[in-house]
């Protein structure tokens, strides 16, 4: 159920009730046909006949909600409920408005009122489960999604929701289970978002070769899909095949040439293949849009790769002044000092990071090698 258009006003004997019934049906049909202004006119005609009529107030609420005028819609639904407490259509619309405004706690409270009257409504149950997921209540969200699956095995909304729930809590194997089940349940109606979601699980699990299959399938469905292009490029990066990732970073940039993150990723790929000139061009293009620490780091690493250690050190020290807690900067700076024979300075750099009270395994292991004389 999505709006009050799915029910018919009760038939009545007198001419006034009959007129209201006809205007109500007309209004909901116009709303279905996206003729919102005409629908509003019909609902207002009802209010001229019968002030505070529930069908008219819900219809006006639905009209405002359809136009994303959520606060106006809330006023109509609330007014309806003040005269007609427990009206399911007003409750449903009101909850949807609060959800759209990201006020999930209020939406949940209202949907639960609805479920008192209709606890088997799958549409409402999945909406409440979604809302609990948004407020990160893992237990209640999972409980409701599972309840839906007990009522309707392979319900798409519940399977997708469970996938997102587990993904949000970094339980990637469980997310993979539900999204794969969704894919298997609907082989003839593959949802591209499910394909990219499965691909993202494999990226997180570092099973890049498996993720690649799903992203490529998604790209066949939509050759310009950002998530498919990004996923393929990132899988090749994870498989240490940077030369292959370059094509896909550039395909994204053809669609979105000012994407700072992608310019930096492409710069990294060119740098890792030894093409420092092109890498520097991409990093500088990113920096021209806005400062980006990873583009700035990339430029420092080009200096390091070209043996310009003093310039690399200068760049890295400047970056550390602005981002004192970024462990990677300290590791690269220590390596520059090491390559110029300043071993003590390298160890001092790593200790300065540790003094901030931040524990980082890579920094700790490198410092242990210094102290054990293995470097």
> Locate tokens 């006119």: which residue?
41
Distances from the Cα of 290 to the Cα of 21, 138, 295, angstroms: 59, 37, 10
**Is 270 a member of any domain?**
no
Q: Tell me, rounded to whole angstroms, the distance of Cα 122 from its chain centroid.
A: 24
Final residue in a domain of this structure, among 101, 121, 153: 101
**Is 219 a member of any domain?**
no
**Is 176 a member of any domain?**
no
Domain span including residue 317: 307-375
Query: For the chain, how many structural domains are there in total?
Result: 2
**Is 373 a member of any domain?**
yes
**Is 139 a member of any domain?**
no
Q: What pLDDT was estimated at residue 61?
A: 98
Q: Are 263 and 285 in contact (CB under 8 A)?
A: yes
**Is 266 a member of any domain?**
no
**Is 57 a member of any domain?**
yes
The whole-angstrom separation of Cα 50 and Cα 177 is 54
Assign residue 75 the CATH number of its domain: 1.25.40.10
Final residue in a domain of this structure, among 83, 101, 119: 101
Distances from the Cα of 323 to the Cα of 294, 318, 319, 327, angstroms: 11, 9, 6, 9
SS3 of the chain: CCCHHHCCCCCCCCHHHHHHHHHHHHHHHHHHCCCHHHHHHHHHHHHHHCCCCHHHHHHHHHHHHHCCCHHHHHHHHHHHHHHCCCCHHHHHHHHHHHHHCCCHHHHHHHHHHHHHHCCCCHHHHHHHHHHHHHCCCHHHHHHHHHHHHHHCCCCHHHHHHHHHHHHHCCCHHHHHHHHHHHHHHCCCCCCHHHHHHHHHHHHHCCCHHHHHHHHHHHHHHCCCCHHHHHHHHHHHHHCCCHHHHHHHHHHHHHHCCCCHHHHHHHHHHHHHCCCHHHHHHHHHHHHHHCCCHHHHHHHHHHHHHCCCHHHHHHHHHHHHHHCCCCHHHHHHHHHHHHHCCCHHHHHHHHHHHHCCCCCCHHHHHHHHHHHCCCC
The whole-angstrom separation of Cα 33 and Cα 350 is 66
> Per-residue confidence of the chain (375 residues) as pLDDT tens digits?
444 544 555 444 568 888 999 999 999 999 999 999 999 999 999 999 999 999 999 999 999 999 999 999 999 999 999 999 989 999 999 999 999 999 999 999 999 988 988 889 999 999 999 999 999 999 999 999 999 999 999 999 999 999 999 999 999 999 999 999 999 998 888 999 999 999 999 999 999 999 999 999 999 999 999 999 999 999 999 999 999 999 999 999 999 999 999 999 999 999 999 999 999 999 999 999 999 999 999 999 999 999 999 999 999 999 999 999 999 999 999 999 999 999 999 999 999 999 999 989 999 999 888 887 777
Final residue in a domain of this structure, among 57, 82, 101: 101
Q: What pLDDT was estimated at residue 13?
A: 52
Q: What pLDDT was estimated at residue 86?
A: 87
**Is 275 a member of any domain?**
no
């Amino acid at each position: 159920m999505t709006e009050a258009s799915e029910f018919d006003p009760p038939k009545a004997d007198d001419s006034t009730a009959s007129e209201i019934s006809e205007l109500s049906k007309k209004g909901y049909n116009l709303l279905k046909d996206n003729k919102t202004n005409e629908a509003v006119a019909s609902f207002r005609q009802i209010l001229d006949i019968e002030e505070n009529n529930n069908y008219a107030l819900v219809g006006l609420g639905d009209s405002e909600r359809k136009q994303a005028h959520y606060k106006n819609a809330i006023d109509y639904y609330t007014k309806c409920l003040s005269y007609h407490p427990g009206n399911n259509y007003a409750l449903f619309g009101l909850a949807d408005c609060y959800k759209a405004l990201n006020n999930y706690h209020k939406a949940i409270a209202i949907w639960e009122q609805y479920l008192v009257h209709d606890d088997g409504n799958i549409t409402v149950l999945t909406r409440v489960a979604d809302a609990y997921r948004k407020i990160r209540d893992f237990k209640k969200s999972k409980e409701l999604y599972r309840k839906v699956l007990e009522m309707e095995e392979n319900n798409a909304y519940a399977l997708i929701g469970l996938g997102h729930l587990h993904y949000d809590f970094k339980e990637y194997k469980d997310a993979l289970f539900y999204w794969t089940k969704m894919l298997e349940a609907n082989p003839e109606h593959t949802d591209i978002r499910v394909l990219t979601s499965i691909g993202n699980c494999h990226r997180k699990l570092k099973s890049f070769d498996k993720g690649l299959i799903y992203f490529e399938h998604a790209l066949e469905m939509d050759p310009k899909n950002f998530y498919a292009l990004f996923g393929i490029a990132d899988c090749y990066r994870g498989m240490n095949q940077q030369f292959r990732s370059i094509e896909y970073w550039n395909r994204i940039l053809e669609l979105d040439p000012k994407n700072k993150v992608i310019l930096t990723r492409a710069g990294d790929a060119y740098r890792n293949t030894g093409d420092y000139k092109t890498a520097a061009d991409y990093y500088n293009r990113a920096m021209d849009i806005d400062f980006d620490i990873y583009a700035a780091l990339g430029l420092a690493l080009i200096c390091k790769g070209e043996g310009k250690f003093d310039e690399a050190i200068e760049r890295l020290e400047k970056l550390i002044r602005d981002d004192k807690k970024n462990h990677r900067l300290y590791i690269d700076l220590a390596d520059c000092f090491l390559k110029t024979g300043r071993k003590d300075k390298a160890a001092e750099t790593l200790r300065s990071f540790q003094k901030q009270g931040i524990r980082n395994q890579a920094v700790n292991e490198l410092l242990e090698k210094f102290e054990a004389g293995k470097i």
